[in-house]
Amino acid sequence: MGKPSRRAWQALLVLLGMWVATIVSAQSLGLASPGRASYASPSLSLSRLGQDPVPARILGGEFDREFESIAGNQISAPRRQPVWWRVTVDQDIAESDAPQLVISRPYRREIELWRPGDAVPLRRSIYGPDTDFSHSTRFIVFPLPKGLRRGDSLYLRVLTVDVLPSKVMIQPLAKVQREDMLHVGLRSVVLTAMGVAAVLAFGFWAGLRERGYAYLGLTLVLQILTLTADGGEMRAIPWLDEIAPDGRTNVVLNTAAVLASIRFLIFFLGLRTTQPKVARILDYCSVSLGALLLVSLFKTWKHSALFGNLNLLLVIALVLYCTVVAIWRRQREAYFLLLAWSPLMVLLVVLVGANHEWWPEYAWLEYSFPVGLAFGGLGLLLGLTSKLQQLRRDRDTANRLATYDSLTGAMTRAAISQSLRGAVESAHRSHRPLSVVFFDIDHFKRINDEHGHRVGDETLRIVSLRTRNRLRAYDLFGRYGGDEVLVVLADTYLRDAIRVAEHLRESVSGSPLSIDGRLLPVSLSLGVAELRTGETPEQLLERADAALYASKSAGRDRVTGHSVAPEREVVS
């Protein structure tokens, strides 16, 4: 594994450690402040009224006997149906602590509170005209400035878009403010990290034109929108403040995020070619989720969340399956996917089950899920970068194999021909000289026949090494076929090219080749030609080849230059 890969893995492990540390610190700070004992919330009794009468009748005591006691400290309401709750305190609460009634899971809830002696209720919500900007979006907070005596009752009228329960607690103002600061800080870090990852992903996509970055960037943007809609941060933007509370917004954003994640996954693991059956099932899931998204643009139905979450669970199962298969096949990117998405997939399963009341809703989900999203996004950005680095290394290796001859290190015929064409075009445009040298090894077939092909290959390798070392760094050197070599000399007139060719000849014939402990005398025949005005690469090569043939006809081990004037030849 190369250094870039090791750095990517190290960064991913650091991110994982930061994720765990953030969750642990968030939970510990949320429960107790340093240097101060944990605050025990006063005991409360809850009861519920199954109808929605005029508030004055409730406050007048007419329905006191109609309230039904509920165990625990959670309140809920049917979708879009107001429900009355009575909260009775079982102990005195001093006003010196500046007590606050706090209600968790405030998203998409409208709550009215009547305190003892109130004729007009206090109204609170995360979105809309009753938004309270003096607190974070973690709780809906109602002040209780006069404190409460044992047996006092608070009346709540709750209207909600979803059916998930909220916890009711009484906390001192200092604790509420401390948890507000922690909540805002953590949410800011998470959203900033996801935003930076999204910007980087789109930036890489624009610069590299790799669609995997676009899929990842879109996934992160949709997850950011989902978090800010559910978390209440959208209330700071007026026009978003109007659509965020709508139940359709949650379904549309979550569904779109899963769709983008599926597209990214198919690209990231190359499932179209490596696991086509899994890719086909994911396509079916995409169609199903796409239908849900289109329907949800106009109306949600009572099973929308269940339908979408069942699709999500199927996608998670498929992700785990194809990741394990990819790891078995030693796909490097699968390791990144497993490490980056495993915590998030576990959290999603726990969250889906809690939302449908299959098991309890755990307190640690409040921060672990958004932090998991940020960690997953950053981790996959590193994984995608590592994958593209490997693809580029593979491509460079393939290009090198296609461009350079493995035996001699010279350019291949296709590569030298293409380079010659470019050099000729450049010389014509700039009106600068260009010459080529064409040479081969004298009696090379005899060397192969008498000494074997291994000695012949070693002869080619040594000749290529000696001649290439006599050239300038920017001169082009390519194996044209068999033992034939083509040299392209930019900015070089014929007389200078002949001098270069003579150096090439002397580099080989000046001393025999040492192969397998024996000395083998070798010589070269060379032909040189200078580019004429308007001449094509094929015509130039034809004249250089003619000069090479003239060298062989004259006895070999010599240089022949094909001059600009067709009737003249220069022999060295």
565 pLDDT exceeds 60?
no
211 pLDDT exceeds 60?
yes
Total-model pTM: 0.66
The alpha carbon of 131 is separated from its chain's Cα centroid by a whole number of angstroms, namely: 36
- Rounded-to-integer distance, Cα 175 and Cα 189, Å: 21
- Rounded-to-integer distance, Cα 571 and Cα 505, Å: 13
Which pair of tokens denotes residue 458?
């070693």
Domain 44-172 class in CATH: mainly beta
- Rounded-to-integer distance, Cα 186 and Cα 373, Å: 13
Report residue 271's pLDDT band, with 50, 70 and 90 as the boundaries.
Answer: very high
Is the CATH number 3.30.70.1250 carried by domain 413-561? no
- Find, among 122, 131, 337, 299, the residue nearest to 219 by Cα: 337
16 pLDDT exceeds 60?
no
Equal fold, 178-394 vs 413-561 = no
First to last CA, the chain: 53
Min mean pLDDT across 47-61, 118-132, 286-300, 325-339 is at 325-339
- Rounded-to-integer distance, Cα 483 and Cα 213, Å: 47
Percent of the chain, pLDDT > 90?
50
- Torsion sign over Cα 196, 198, 200, 206: negative
- The type of residue at 219 is T
**Cβ-defined contacts of 194-201 (< 8 Å, 24+):** 194/220, 194/223, 194/224, 194/227, 194/373, 194/374, 194/377, 195/220, 195/224, 197/374, 197/377, 197/378, 197/381, 198/224, 198/377, 200/381, 201/381, 201/384
- Are the beta carbons of 405 and 237 closer than 8 angstroms? no
Task: Give the pLDDT confidence score for residue 22 in this predicted structure.
Answer: 54
Per-residue pLDDT averaged across 281-302, rounded? Answer: 90
Output phi, psi for 566, to 5 deg: -60, -25
DSSP assignment letter at 233 = G
Task: Give the pLDDT confidence score for residue 230 in this predicted structure.
Answer: 87
3-state secondary structure of 565: coil
Which pair of tokens denotes residue 32?
């107790």
- Rounded-to-integer distance, Cα 9 and Cα 166, Å: 40
Between 542 and 237, residue with greater pLDDT? 542
- Rounded-to-integer distance, Cα 142 and Cα 27, Å: 24
82 pLDDT exceeds 80?
yes
Task: Give the pLDDT confidence score for residue 325 in this predicted structure.
Answer: 93
**Diameter over CA atoms, the chain:** 126
The alpha carbon of 473 is separated from its chain's Cα centroid by a whole number of angstroms, namely: 40
Task: Give the pLDDT confidence score for residue 520 in this predicted structure.
Answer: 93
- The type of residue at 16 is L
- Rounded-to-integer distance, Cα 510 and Cα 514, Å: 13
Per-residue pLDDT averaged across 103-108, rounded? Answer: 86
Per-residue pLDDT averaged across 251-257, rounded? Answer: 92
- Rounded-to-integer distance, Cα 268 and Cα 321, Å: 15
Task: Give the pLDDT confidence score for residue 4 in this predicted structure.
Answer: 42
The alpha carbon of 429 is separated from its chain's Cα centroid by a whole number of angstroms, namely: 44
- Find, among 175, 179, 100, the residue nearest to 136 by Cα: 179
Is the CATH number 1.20.81 carried by domain 178-394? no
Report residue 397's pLDDT band, with 50, 70 and 90 as the boundaries.
Answer: low
Task: Give the pLDDT confidence score for residue 17 in this predicted structure.
Answer: 59
Domain boundaries, the chain: 44-172, 178-394, 413-561
Mean pLDDT of the chain: 85
Per-residue pLDDT averaged across 375-399, rounded? Answer: 72
Task: Give the pLDDT confidence score for residue 322 in this predicted structure.
Answer: 93
Min mean pLDDT across 53-57, 81-85, 159-163, 524-528 is at 159-163
